[in-house]
Chain A
Amino acid sequence: MDVTVTVNGTTYERDVEPRKLLIHLLRDDLDLTGSHVGCDTGNCGACSVLLDGVLVKSCMLLAVQANGTSIETVEGLSEDGELTPLQQAFNEHHALQCGYCTPGMLMSATALLRENPSPSEDEIKRALQGNICRCTGYWNIVEAVKSVAK
């Protein structure tokens, strides 16, 4: 089936099988490998992207369901090579150890801060509930998000 998606401002057209998950369209067909496959069961959140501004796990969506949508992935956060304040905060607070969960953490935190620029610590933790860090480095991740909360 023909699918047209706009990812980080660029429009792509691809012919995909209905059984293909959105994460595999992004990674395998569009070569956008920033979004990760962590668990493949919908639990870990490493594949989180914004679909028309809504945070979703791209392993629980068919690529054909994304037809006509605008998608934001971790590759689209920085502009002209400049890290966003949130990305910079992850760097400064050592909010990543192996880094595998980081793309999903950044997308979830980005979605939170857009909706609520001044989240409490509890709100930050709840917003990151769907993202698992198997290094268990949650403390610094929460500290990084807190540091950019207004």
Chain B
Amino acid sequence: MLLREVEYAKPGSVAEALELLAANDGARALAGGQTLINVMKARAASPDMLVDLNGLEELRGIELAGDGTLTIGAMATYSEIMGSAEAKARPILGEVCATIADAQVRNRGTIGGNVCSSDPTNHLPPLMVAVGARMTVVSTAGQRDVPAEDFFLGVYLTAAGPGELLTRIAIPAGKKDAFAAVTLGADGTCICNAAATVNGSVRVALGCVDAVPVLVTADSPEAVGDAVRAANLMPPSDVHATSEYRTHLAEVLATRAAQEAAAR
């Protein structure tokens, strides 16, 4: 497939990348490219310039702090997270990454790309909300810290706006997490998914049911079903599931994820 003509820049630093993004309205950051290149083929996105973030060491790396906080560079690939000894501190991260697409995609696709594309069927947005991740967003004006629940603003829309970059994701310590999904084929696109974490109370973030992950909290896994019903979900219908069926799946998957998380 021939893409529309596009300029290509490979900055040597985050600062240079930010200048390029700020100076060019039609510029777009290129992370792993496992979504962006394909939507460019379909002309669903036609950036004038791609600012390639591959090669920026500042955006890589997975670090584990003394208090158990994991800091993951936005350009860490799913495969790197799966293979990282540090990332095992929060096992759910590698477990969910291992269920995204296939080996080739996992070798290129990045955690930052997954969350910044903010596709409602993606795995990582609900997971980031459930585990209480904090996103570091930078621009030429400075740096800010955005909680995951405020990061996702809409379909394909996040708090990392034009001229900004997500650089790192900080994830607090924890082990009692689980992820449940109904997918199109093994490790395929999610029809509905739920990420749960238990830390005293239960936090469940539901994916595929709204433009952004829907956070539901409950005192116990047994109470999650009622909490999901009380959220009055109005998910979209498509060829894979009606709105009613997706609502049903949300309750089932939220309960399943919460029970599994509590049992860990």
Contacts and interface: CB of A to CB of B under 8 A. Distances in A.
Interface string A121-134: 00000110111000
B54 interface: yes
Nearest to B4: A19
Contact of A60 (B5, B10, B37): B37
A: contact size bracket: 20 to 34
Contact of A64 (B8, B37, B101): B8
A56 to B, nearest CB: 5
Contacts of B101: 129-130
Given A18-B7, A62-B37, A62-B50, A40 B104 contact: no
Contacts of A56: 104, 107-108
B103 A55 contact: yes
Contacts of B107: 54-56
B220 interface: no
A17 interface: yes
A61 B37 contact: yes
Contacts of B201: none
B6 A129 contact: no
A116 to B, nearest CB: 11
Nearest to A129: B102
A131 B1 CA distance: 19
Nearest to A62: B8
B83 to A, nearest CB: 10
A127 B50 contact: no
Given A17-B5, A19-B4, A60 B103 contact: no
A132 to B, nearest CB: 10
A21 B37 CA distance: 9
Contacts of B10: 64
A42 B52 contact: no
Residue from A21, A40, A65, A126 whose CB has the most chain B CB atoms within 10 Å: A65
A61 B1 contact: no
Interface in A109-150: 111-112, 126-127, 129-131
A54 B107 CA distance: 7
A57 interface: yes
A98 interface: no
27 contacts: A1-B8, A18-B6, A19-B2, A19-B3, A19-B5, A21-B3, A40-B41, A41-B38, A42-B38, A48-B104, A55-B103, A55-B104, A56-B107, A56-B108, A57-B104, A59-B1, A59-B37, A60-B34, A61-B108, A62-B8, A62-B37, A64-B10, A65-B33, A108-B103, A108-B104, A112-B103, A126-B103
Interface of A: 1, 17-21, 40-42, 45, 48, 54-57, 59-62, 64-65, 108, 111-112, 126-127, 129-131
Q: List 3 tightest A-B contacts by C-beta distance, closest first.
A: A130-B102, A18-B8, A19-B3
